[in-house]
């Protein structure tokens, strides 16, 4: 080994660095809208949420770029500008997401960033976008803390937060006269599980004031084995077993609980379980009450927009769309509506970030999952309606159908502006408009 | 002190790198800030590794520094960047002072596993603390410097870059001096044969404890930087994969050069970022191949790219590292 080859190696390294910098240089094109999309492509949330969201996003963007979407979204791309997506992986923790968000804005010069499924990531990236004064659309994450603890001008969330999942669930149980004198809960021991549990218990305290919480379990995230938990739940024998488990954890829980008779002893209620119906199939016990975090998937309501999306997605991916795909779609359509509203105002030019922000604030738009309204947090946080139903296996179609579906309007299950979610629930859900 | 650069030259170099930040595009600034913060904690691992012990739980001190700074910033409104670095370092150092002497009695895999276990205990406790936002963590405001707030994003990024590069640079210089000192050489001797060190009248436990505290101080300061750069903290700071990444930077850098730690850290961040951009579905694979490539072709780390010749005619203490024996690779 000598000096020469070391110098050569240094040159190779330097040129590799130069090439990567050159590749990173922004391509300037007038007629496109560069959209950074962040969703889980790896990790535990990829199969359940991240990849369906990605598939929903690519389907909708393809359709929009071809001008193939139904009214009122028939314009090509965003107001005539083709959408140029840059998709990156949300896996890797909040530190990485903050860095990647900066890279998207500052290096790749995207016009807006849309995505994020994990609440921790949403909380971490929101202040960064605000500081950089760049448009950020959060599409999914559950926690209400984002706008309840912070105030943002450049950040929007185009889906309702997790409060309605549990308030709606309790309202559904009450409407269907589900008996609940005793209640048990099993939730993952991290923010989503802890918060969902708190919301559900608080809402139950309002509508079922006599219900007693018997067994309250918090297994760790990704546990996979629930033998002892199921024993505890079976021996407790409470009327209702509530869970906010999702993905692989929920599938394992159901697969392990069914043979031990838990679904026969207790009414199972799951706040966000629609995404496990396709993989579980006939393993899903009939009569389980489930939510989908909106009027999504098999609970979606018929409309030309939903027919286009449901059938198109099913055709492209071989499986029907579930919650995350809907949420991605409603975020993209919302952004499209905002861009076109801003362009109508400024005479058809590509809108600046501030024009875009002004157009998005307080916006209302139609989506495959129904009407979305930016009503909370000064027009930055969406509310929407939600559906719940009971599972029933359909042997002809070889899929789990949902029966007994009931919808609750957005203002029935979401807190009014200016009230913190948990305070609203504990205060008796004042001002809810349920018709 | 007859080999290597004079500390004043190194200070000049740190100054030059800091000023170079004025020329860098904005996105590189925050990347470099994170890289410098990671380099600082990995430097601590290298310091500790010279005693023959690897800590797989530096995330513990990283998180302690981060949470300490975040809680003080939110509680008392203390936002000064330099003060935050000092708070982070103190938090890490105090914790290191408690844990170091207890853990110094163990060595090898037991040492590594205990550090890992302690960091995971802390992680578990943080996930359970809903008052601290549980697994979602919480946000803090932007840092200031000597009473000056920075509203322009580029200036704010440069300020952080400058503070982190200077701090990490000074830590690097201190480490270089430490490595050449009697204490630093005794640390190497502990790795070779701690019994003999004891017979020389030195306490091997004390040497390991002190190195452990130094590593903890670096980790705490690094946690403060990570917090300032991302304005958000969550228990992931203490998770074992976070700690593992720092060990990886240390492995990547090798223990021959302090500068290599910075180069390795920056290279890792760049590879991660670009692979995530161009290959969103397989970025972990790219990262893995990169790490594998370095291990296969540069088994003694990136530092061996430029340190090799000088070390061949170096002092007996470093010669015993085995650096003179193999010149075959590549």
Going from N- to C-terminal start, the domains of chain B cover 7-253
CATH of span A32-161+301-383: 3.40.50.2300
pLDDT for the residue numbered B201: 83
Q: Give the mean model confidence (pLDDT) for residues B168-184.
A: 86
- Closest Cα partner for A38 from A117, A120, A130? A117
Q: Is the pLDDT of residue B66 over 80?
A: yes
**Where do you find CATH 3.40.50.2300 in chain A?**
32-161+301-383, 163-299+385-426
Q: Find residues 231-270 of chain A whose CB sits inside 8 Å of chain B.
A: none
CA of B175: how far to CAs of A197, B183, B258, B259, B282, in Å? 49, 11, 8, 11, 37
Disruptive mutation site among A8, A20, A85, A120 for chain B (greatest number of B CBs within 10 Å): A120
Task: Pick B327 or A373 by higher pLDDT.
Answer: A373
Average pLDDT (B178-197) is 84
Q: Residue B166: which residues within 8 A CB-CB, separation 6 or more?
A: B14, B18
Distance CA A320, CA A323 (A): 10
Q: What is the predicted pLDDT for the residue at B150?
A: 72
pLDDT of B214-231, one tens digit each? 999 999 999 998 888 888
A292/A387 Cα distance (integer angstroms): 7
Q: Which residues of A touch B275 (CB under 8 A)?
A: none
Spell out the per-residue pLDDT of chain A, length 435, in tens.
Answer: 444 455 555 555 555 554 444 444 433 345 789 999 999 998 888 888 999 999 999 999 999 998 888 888 988 888 889 999 999 999 888 888 888 898 899 888 999 999 999 888 898 899 889 888 999 999 998 888 888 888 899 999 999 998 999 999 999 998 998 899 999 999 988 888 888 998 999 999 999 998 899 999 999 888 889 989 999 999 998 999 999 999 889 999 999 999 998 999 899 999 999 899 988 888 999 999 999 998 998 999 889 999 999 999 999 999 999 999 999 999 999 999 999 999 888 888 888 999 999 999 999 999 999 999 998 888 999 999 999 999 999 889 888 999 999 999 998 999 998 888 888 998 888 888 887
| Residue B308 pLDDT level (bands cut at 50, 70, 90) | low
What's the token pair of residue A417?
């502006």
Q: Which of B 269-288 lie inside 8 A of A, CB atoms?
A: 269-270, 272-274, 276-278, 280-281, 283-284
Q: Which residues, 6 or more positions from A402, have their beta carbon under 8 angstroms from its beta carbon?
A: A290, A298, A299, A389, A390, A391, A392
Residue A6 confidence (pLDDT): 52
pLDDT at position B5 is 66
Interface of B with A in 36-75 (CB under 8 A): none
Residues of B in contact with A95 (CB under 8 A): 34, 226, 230, 236
A163-299+385-426 carries CATH number 3.40.50.2300: yes
**How far is the alpha carbon of B200 from chain A, nearest alpha carbon, in Å?**
39
Q: Is B131 on the interface with A (CB under 8 A)?
A: no
Task: Identify whether the C-beta of residue A306 lies closer than 8 Å to the C-beta of residue A339.
Answer: no
- Residue A110: the pLDDT is 92
- Nearest CA among B307, B266, B274, B271 for reference residue B291: B271
* Integer Cα distance of B120 and B114 in angstroms: 10
Average pLDDT, chain B: 81
Among residues 214-253 of chain B, which lie with CB inside 8 Å of chain A?
226, 229-232, 234, 236, 239, 241-242
Confidence of residue B260 (pLDDT cuts 50, 70, 90): confident
Q: Between chains, do B136 and A120 touch, taking CB under 8 Å as contact? A: yes
- φ/ψ region of A350 (left if φ > 0, alpha if ψ in -120 to 50, else beta) reads beta
Q: What is the pLDDT of residue B313?
A: 47
Rounded to whole angstroms, the Cα distance separating A137 from A129 reads: 10
Chain A contact probe: residue of B38, B135, B229, B325 with most A CBs at under 10 A: B135
Residue B149 scores a pLDDT above 90: no
What per-residue confidence (pLDDT) applies to B305?
77
Residue ranges of the alpha helices (H) in B181-320?
182-192, 194-199, 204-230, 240-253, 258-278, 283-297, 304-312, 316-318
- The token pair at A45 is 């949330």
Judge contact between A252 and A245, C-beta under 8 A. Answer: no
Give residue A425's Cα distance to chain centre.
22
Q: Cis omega before residue A72 (within 30°)?
A: yes
The pLDDT assigned to B330 comes to 30
CA distances A293 to A190, A386, A407, B45, B152, Å, are 19, 7, 12, 45, 39
Which has more pLDDT, B320 or A303?
A303
pLDDT at residue B117, rounded to an integer: 92
pLDDT above 90 coverage of chain B, percent: 15
Given pLDDT bands bounded at 50, 70 and 90, which one contains residue B319? very low
Predicted local distance difference test score (pLDDT) of residue A30: 56
Question: Which is more confidently placed, B290 or A19?
Answer: B290
């Amino acid at each position: 080994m000598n000096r020469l080859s070391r110098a050569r190696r240094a040159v190779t390294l330097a040129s590799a660095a130069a090439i990567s910098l050159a590749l990173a240089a922004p391509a300037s094109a007038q007629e496109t809208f560069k959209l950074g999309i962040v969703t889980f492509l790896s990790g535990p949330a990829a199969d359940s949420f991240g990849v369906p969201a990605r598939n929903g996003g690519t389907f909708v963007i393809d359709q929009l770029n071809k001008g193939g979407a139904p009214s009122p979204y028939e314009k090509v791309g965003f107001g005539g500008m083709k959408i140029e997506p840059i998709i990156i992986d949300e896996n890797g923790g909040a530190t990485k997401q903050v860095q990647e968000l900066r890279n998207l804005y500052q290096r790749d010069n995207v016009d807006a960033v849309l995505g994020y499924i994990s609440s921790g990531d949403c909380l971490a990236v929101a202040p960064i976008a605000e500081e950089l004064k760049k448009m950020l659309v959060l599409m999914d994450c559950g926690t209400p803390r984002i706008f309840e603890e912070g105030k943002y001008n450049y950040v929007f969330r185009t889906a309702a937060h997790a409060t309605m999942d549990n308030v709606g669930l309790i309202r559904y149980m009450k409407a269907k006269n589900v008996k609940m004198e005793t209640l048990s809960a099993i939730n993952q021991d991290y923010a989503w599980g802890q918060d969902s549990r708190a919301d559900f218990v608080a809402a139950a305290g309002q509508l079922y004031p006599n219900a007693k919480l018997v067994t309250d379990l918090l297994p760790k995230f990704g546990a996979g084995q629930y033998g002892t938990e199921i024993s505890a739940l079976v021996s407790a024998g409470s009327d209702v077993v509530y869970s906010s488990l999702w993905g692989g954890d929920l599938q394992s829980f159901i697969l392990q609980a069914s043979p031990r008779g838990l679904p026969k002893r207790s009414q199972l209620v799951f706040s966000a379980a629609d995404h496990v119906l396709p993989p579980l199939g006939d393993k899903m016990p009939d009569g389980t009450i489930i939510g989908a975090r909106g009027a999504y998937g098999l609970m979606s309501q018929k409309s030309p927009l939903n027919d286009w999306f449901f059938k198109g997605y099913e055709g492209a991916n071989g499986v029907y769309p579930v919650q995350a795909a809907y949420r991605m779609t409603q975020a993209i359509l919302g952004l499209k509506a905002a861009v076109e509203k801003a362009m109508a105002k400024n005479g058809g030019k590509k809108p600046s970030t501030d024009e875009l922000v002004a157009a998005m604030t307080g916006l209302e738009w139609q989506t495959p999952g129904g009407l979305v309204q930016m009503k909370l947090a000064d027009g930055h946080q969406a509310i929407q309606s939600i559906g719940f139903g009971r599972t029933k296996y359909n042997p002809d179609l070889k899929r789990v159908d949902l029966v007994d579906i009931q919808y609750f309007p957005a203002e029935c299950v979401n807190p009014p502006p200016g009230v913190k979610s948990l305070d609203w629930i504990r205060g008796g859900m004042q001002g809810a408009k349920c018709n | 002190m007859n080999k290597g650069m004079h500390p004043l030259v190194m200070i000049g170099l740190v100054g030059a790198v800091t000023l170079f930040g004025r020329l860098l595009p904005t996105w590189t600034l925050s990347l470099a800030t994170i890289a410098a913060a990671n380099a600082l904690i990995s430097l601590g691992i290298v310091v500790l590794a010279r005693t023959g012990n690897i800590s797989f739980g530096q995330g513990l001190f990283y998180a302690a520094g981060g949470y300490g700074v975040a809680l003080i910033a939110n509680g008392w409104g203390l936002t000064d960047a330099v003060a935050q670095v000092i708070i982070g370092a103190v938090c890490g150092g105090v914790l290191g002072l408690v844990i170091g002497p207890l853990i110094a009695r163990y060595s090898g895999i037991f040492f590594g596993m205990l550090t890992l276990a302690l960091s995971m205990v802390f992680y578990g406790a943080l996930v359970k603390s809903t008052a601290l936002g549980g697994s979602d963590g919480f946000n803090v405001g932007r840092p200031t410097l000597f009473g000056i707030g920075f509203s322009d994003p580029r200036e704010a990024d440069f300020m952080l870059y400058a503070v982190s590069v200077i701090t990490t640079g000074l830590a690097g210089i201190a480490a270089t001096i430490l490595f050449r000192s009697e204490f630093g050489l005794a640390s190497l001797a502990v790795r070779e044969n701690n019994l003999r060190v004891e017979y020389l009248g030195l306490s091997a436990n004390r040497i390991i404890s002190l190195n452990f505290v130094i590593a903890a101080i670096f980790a705490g300061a690094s946690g403060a930087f990570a917090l300032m750069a991302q304005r958000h903290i969550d228990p992931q700071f203490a998770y074992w994969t976070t700690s593992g990444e720092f060990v990886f930077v240390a492995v990547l850098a090798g223990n021959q050069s302090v500068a290599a730690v910075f180069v390795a850290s920056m290279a890792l961040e760049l590879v991660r970022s670009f692979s995530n951009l161009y290959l969103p579905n397989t970025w972990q694979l790219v990262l893995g191949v990169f790490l594998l490539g370095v291990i296969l072709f540069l088994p003694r780390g990136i530092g061996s790219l430029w340190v090799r010749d000088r070390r061949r005619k170096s002092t007996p203490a470093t010669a015993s590292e085995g650096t003179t024996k193999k010149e075959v690779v590549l």
